[in-house]
Amino acid sequence: MDRSKITWIIGLLGVGYTIALTLVIVGCVEENVYWILFLLFPYVFTPTMTIFMPSDAEDDNFWMQFALFVMAVSLVSAFAMPLVFWSTGGIQAAGLGYGLGASFTLYIFMSAAGYIAVKED
């Protein structure tokens, strides 16, 4: 992988995390309710699972399946947590918007970085 690809990947992930964390913090401060900070767990688990994904792994590899499972659970959790907090009255509509906006933004930037990583030159 050449340096320009790595630079784009790191740049996209950095911008995505910066925007998402800003939205999470603003959502917490605006309502003075800090339930939205639980979104940090799926935000951390999703990229760390790439450690278990070797580049030459086949589909029947245990670590590949484990990493994909944890990434799927993290993805669902990132969007489900704000909805659960909102439906139980833990956060208001503004917090729901900030939480879902943060998750959407982060996973769009992660998808773009993943696309650049696997794209052929």
Reported as a pLDDT band with limits 50, 70 and 90, residue 57 is low
For residue range 24-50, what is the model confidence (pLDDT) as tens digits? 999 999 989 999 999 999 988 887 777
> In terms of C-beta density within 10 A (0-12 exposed, 13-18 middle, 19 or more buried), how is residue 101 classed?
middle
3-state SS record for the chain: CCHHHHHHHHHHHHHHHHHHHHHHHHHHHHHCCCHHHHHHHHHHHHHHHHHHCCCCCCCCCHHHHHHHHHHHHHHHHHHHHHHHHHHCCCCCHHHHHHHHHHHHHHHHHHHHHHHHHHCCC
pTM: 0.84
The answer on pLDDT for 120 being more than 90 is: no
Alpha-carbon span 89 to 121, nearest angstrom = 49
Reported as a pLDDT band with limits 50, 70 and 90, residue 55 is low
Q: What is the mean pLDDT of residues 10-22?
A: 92
For residue range 87-106, what is the model confidence (pLDDT) as tens digits? 999 999 999 999 999 999 99
